[in-house]
Amino acid sequence: MANSKDSIDVKRVEAAFNPVQDQDLDIYGEELKKYTIVDVDVHVDDTLQNMLPYMDGHFGKRLEAVLAADFMGEPHNSLRNMIAHVSWLGAAYDKHPRAKLATKEDLLERMEYGIIDYSILFPSELLPIGYLPDPKWAAALASAYNEYMVDAYSNVAGVKLAIVVSPKSVEHAVSEIEKHASNDDVVTVSIPDVGVNPPLGDEKYWPIYEAAEACNLPVSLHGIEALIHDNYPLRVSHFPTLMQVHSMGFPFTSMLQVMSVVCEGVPVRYPNLKFCVMEAGITWVPFIMHRLDTAYRQYRTELPALEAQPSEYISKWYWGTHELEKLPKKGDLSKLLDLYQGHNTTMWASDWPHLERDLIAGLMYYDLDDDVRAKILGKNAIDFYGFTT
């Protein structure tokens, strides 16, 4: 007989998982109407099936083969399932295994609430692009994704786009930036922060940053679900549960990439290029700032490119709030912002419609001055992305 200690009584609460439904928008609707609200991390139905018409020849046939395969995942949405380890499958048996991807109609219905003014669309299916071993295959998928998203979502009121590039194909990444930079609805370049080796401060990536700066497009480092990055820059196979992998994977990989970009002098070389980190929370930001400052004083000769302490560069980065950590007291978020000078650089991110998405209630819970709340909900994002309202 199984030990009773191994049995957990779970009172399962099913999510209200109509992806267009943000239950808290109704609760805070009147209060939120006075703000310009930008959700800086939104995902839509960007499955590989939608990219097929944008791929010809060899790579078109290759994509057809991918779509025909069965990886026990969603039909026509197999890239993650090919790469992902399933070691933790079923560990969290009190939650749905995967969130539904939102369609364009779902997104428009959400926008029609009239509370969220702008949505910044990031890739879902192509977030693991850094893991693909064939640079040409990764480049072809990036091109197909960007063309599909521009065709499907340009000129949609309130919708802005992140184009995705593959760091393994630097020349192609530069060409994609230059190709789409003139589109006013393209507002940032999305680079994966996992599966990228060497780390993103390496000199090989500098042409990407040069092109982004020249085109006035900020760079966004977007995390990817922790269960797939078991190669670089973090090994997670020794963790027994997905909860542990998920909790540490996102911030640890983001810290490593922030350290690389800053310590290799990228902000000095490209002073007008703006960076943000998406989907890693924010409580770790003051840690990496002051940890690196301490090391800077000890190893100054190893950082000849820097003209100031690392924290002075990191304090200019922008941060998406998702997953916004639950702090003990309502005044703690304001204290946290003070620690990393984040009042002008923190942006509300929901990760809608994924299961782990942040409701806006998570931000409204904390006591913030009205001007600070207005900055986090929208003004900081408008400054980062540089679009006019």
Digit-coded pLDDT (tens) for 171-227? 999 999 999 999 999 999 999 888 888 999 999 999 999 999 999 999 999 987 655
pLDDT of residue 375: 98
| Largest pairwise CA distance in the chain | 67
Query: pLDDT class for 273, splitting at 50, 70, 90?
Result: very high
Which domains are assigned to the chain?
A: 19-47+100-385 (3.20.20.140)
CA proximity to 318, closest of 389, 379, 250, 246: 379
pLDDT of residue 322: 94
* DSSP secondary structure string for all residues of 93-129: TTS-SSPPPPPHHHHHHHHTTSS--EEEE--STTGGG
What does the pLDDT look like over 307-323, one tens digit per residue? Answer: 999 999 999 999 999 99
Q: Considering only residues 2 and 173, tell me which one the structure prediction assigns the higher pLDDT.
A: 173
Lowest mean pLDDT among 25-29, 102-106, 157-161, 327-331: 25-29
CA distance 62 to 365: 48
H and E: helices and strands count for the chain: 16, 8
Q: Cβ distance 156 to 67 under 8 Å?
A: no
Question: What mean pLDDT, rounded, does the chain reach?
Answer: 87
Is the pLDDT confidence value at 9 over 80? no
Is the pLDDT confidence value at 82 over 90? no
Which runs of consecutive H residues, i.e. helices, occur in 16-70? 23-32, 48-51, 57-68
Query: pLDDT class for 23, splitting at 50, 70, 90?
Result: confident
Copy the structure tokens of residue 270: 């490209």
Copy the structure tokens of residue 60: 């078109």
Q: Considering only residues 275 and 233, tell me which one the structure prediction assigns the higher pLDDT.
A: 275
What does the pLDDT look like over 51-60, one tens digit per residue? Answer: 999 998 999 9
H/E element holding 138?
Answer: helix 135-153
Is the pLDDT confidence value at 121 over 60? yes
Is the pLDDT confidence value at 19 over 90? no
Q: Is 220 helix (H, G, I), strand (E, B) or coil?
A: strand
State what percent of residues in the chain have pLDDT above 70. 84
Q: Considering only residues 345 and 241, tell me which one the structure prediction assigns the higher pLDDT.
A: 345
Is the pLDDT confidence value at 1 over 50? no
Copy the structure tokens of residue 67: 């779509």
pLDDT of residue 132: 86
pLDDT of residue 99: 53
pLDDT of residue 76: 52
**Mean pLDDT to the nearest integer, 152-162:** 96
Q: Cβ distance 186 to 180 under 8 Å?
A: yes
How many CA within 13 A on the CB side of residue 43? 26
Q: Considering only residues 235 and 347, tell me which one the structure prediction assigns the higher pLDDT.
A: 347
- State yes or no: cis peptide before 251, omega within 30 of 0: no
- Pick the most confident of 89-103, 111-125, 322-336: 322-336
Is the pLDDT confidence value at 147 over 80? yes
| Look-up of token digits 């197999």 | 78
* pTM for this predicted structure: 0.92
Query: pLDDT class for 126, splitting at 50, 70, 90?
Result: confident
